[in-house]
A and B are shown apart, each in its own frame.
Chain A
Amino acid sequence: MSPSSAPAVSRVPAVLLTAVPAANAIEDAFRAGSEHGLAAAYEAHGSLVHTLCARAHPTTAADITQEVFLAAWKARDRFDPNRGPLAAWLVGITKNKIVDAYRKDGRRVPEIFDKDGSQVERVADERDPVDNLANKLLITEALATLPERPRRIMELAFYDDLTHEQIAEQTDVPLGTVKSDIRRGLARLRHYLEAAS
């Protein structure tokens, strides 16, 4: 094919100069069974998986992390990037492996994994505590993928409990933008949460 003779565009927005993220390449390589796919997935998401294991089943966390990646690699054909990110799919597998580990131990899943244990509640389903912890980790994971402005706005809404109007005032971002950032941010979070459930 002949080289392009199209004229250059006069104004290049600075935002376009940011590097194209490699996350898609990791997911594609993993799914395709490329020789670097598993290594790439482990490099990108090993800490997320291991954190969930270490907090939910500390005694065999390393073994469960290992099982998760071996199981994920064998089942890589079933990973569909349209249904959600690889991180969330791996968390879904991790939750199952943690519940399995408790069953193997003949132990009941503890009702809460928080250090102080002060807010222990009775739960209907033994999976609930694992789900709750996984969801919290996924929320922090998903928020970290947002660009700076929407991430800051989401944090103010969630953690500082500010209203849309207060956020607009504090950040000097127009109210309409605050609202659309929150709407899109919630959609991103839902995408992660649903893919792991």
Chain B
Amino acid sequence: MNVPTGDNSKFSDDAIIAMARSVEPQDSDRIAPPTQVWHNILAELEVEVASQEAAARKQTRHPKTEDWFSSTRLLSIAAATLLLVGAVIAIVNVSYDDSSLTEVASAVMTDEGLPVATSATANARFLCADESCFVQVDLTALPDAGADDLELWVINNDVSDMHSLGTVTSDGRFSLPQGVTADDFPIVDISIEPRDGDPTHSGQSVLRGSFVLP
């Protein structure tokens, strides 16, 4: 195979190809852990929390810290493991050094499940100041678009509506049209767009994430 060697790291292209060629069919097989393992993990954490609570009771001030691993919570977590696939979990991350800005939502963008693969990932933040909002994109690297452009989009949940926010050439802020909310346009997407005069989305998405609201 005529693949150029990427670099001198331990995982040069040649090294990865050699490793991949040593993969055997059995390496794709997965062995599920016995059910007991998960019960043991929960039990261990419960013991830990119980001892922390006991230690806390010895002090006059009872700290209201992480008590979520109580017995009732543990039951709900055990049940949740059965329901988790596809679950979307909210994460709140309200922190921005510019005090006039509010972080409305954030998204981690990866190429998972997309037609174009990249090792780059990005963090997208939906930020608002008064009436105007924008998306701040921070990339680990710029995905390879060859001679084409990278374009940033926000898309609604049923993909019936989307807005182009502009061409991505580096990390940056992209203004949002008035009235576009993270609620209504929760999908943030970077696509590879050929310079063919067609302003619609090419379908060649390379990075995507979902805005998660507090």
> Which A residues contact B (CB, under 8 angstroms)?
1-6, 8-29, 32-40, 42-44, 46-51, 54-55, 61-62, 65-66, 69-70, 73, 81-82, 114-115, 132, 135-137, 139-140, 144-147, 149-150, 154, 157-159, 161-164, 180-191, 193-194, 197
In the complex, residue of chain B having the shortest beta-carbon distance to the beta carbon of A140: B28
Asked if residues A139 and B23 are in contact (CB atoms below 8 Å), the reply is: yes
Apart from the given pairs A13-B202, A38-B41, A180-B144, 13 other A-B contacts in the complex at a CB distance below 8 Å: A2-B178, A3-B184, A9-B162, A23-B110, A25-B212, A28-B108, A32-B91, A46-B38, A62-B37, A158-B21, A158-B23, A163-B2, A184-B144
Q: How large is the interface on B (under 10, 10 to 19, 20 to 34, 35 or more residues)?
A: 35 or more
Among B24, B27, B40, find the residue whose CB has the most chain A CB atoms closer than 10 A: B27
> Cβ of B16 < 8 Å from any Cβ of A?
yes
Asked if residues B91 and A29 are in contact (CB atoms below 8 Å), the reply is: yes
Asked if residues B20 and A21 are in contact (CB atoms below 8 Å), the reply is: no
Q: Which residues of A sit under 8 angstroms from B20, Cβ to Cβ?
A: 139, 154, 158, 189
> Cβ of B97 < 8 Å from any Cβ of A?
no
Q: Within B47-79, which residues are at the interface with A (CB < 8 Å)?
A: 66, 68-69, 73, 76-78
Asked if residues B210 and A25 are in contact (CB atoms below 8 Å), the reply is: yes
What are the 4 tightest A-B residue pairs by CB atom distance, in nearest-first order? A13-B203, A187-B119, A29-B89, A50-B33
Given contacts A12-B160, A34-B91, contact A147 B1 (CB under 8 A): no
How many contacts between A and B, using CB within 8 angstroms? 249
Whole-angstrom CA separation of A66 from B89 in the bound complex: 24
Asked if residues A186 and B30 are in contact (CB atoms below 8 Å), the reply is: no
Asked if residues A24 and B110 are in contact (CB atoms below 8 Å), the reply is: yes
Given contacts A50-B33, A163-B1, contact A70 B44 (CB under 8 A): yes
Asked if residues A4 and B117 are in contact (CB atoms below 8 Å), the reply is: no
Cβ distance B14 to chain A, nearest Cβ, rounded Å: 10
In the complex, residue of chain A having the shortest beta-carbon distance to the beta carbon of B106: A28
Whole-angstrom CA separation of A189 from B16 in the bound complex: 8
> Cβ of B181 < 8 Å from any Cβ of A?
yes
> Cβ of B196 < 8 Å from any Cβ of A?
no
Q: Which residues of A sit under 8 angstroms from B185, Cβ to Cβ?
A: 4
Q: Which residues of B sit under 8 angstroms from A3, Cβ to Cβ?
A: 179, 184
Given contacts A25-B210, A50-B37, A197-B10, contact A81 B121 (CB under 8 A): yes
Cβ distance A100 to chain B, nearest Cβ, rounded Å: 17
From A13, A28, A49, A149, B89 is in contact (CB under 8 Å) with: A28
Asked if residues B30 and A51 are in contact (CB atoms below 8 Å), the reply is: yes
Cβ distance B208 to chain A, nearest Cβ, rounded Å: 6
Asked if residues A51 and B29 are in contact (CB atoms below 8 Å), the reply is: yes
Whole-angstrom CA separation of A189 from B187 in the bound complex: 26
Q: Which residues of B sit under 8 angstroms from A149, Cβ to Cβ?
A: 115
Whole-angstrom CA separation of A10 from B123 in the bound complex: 29
Asked if residues A136 and B6 are in contact (CB atoms below 8 Å), the reply is: no
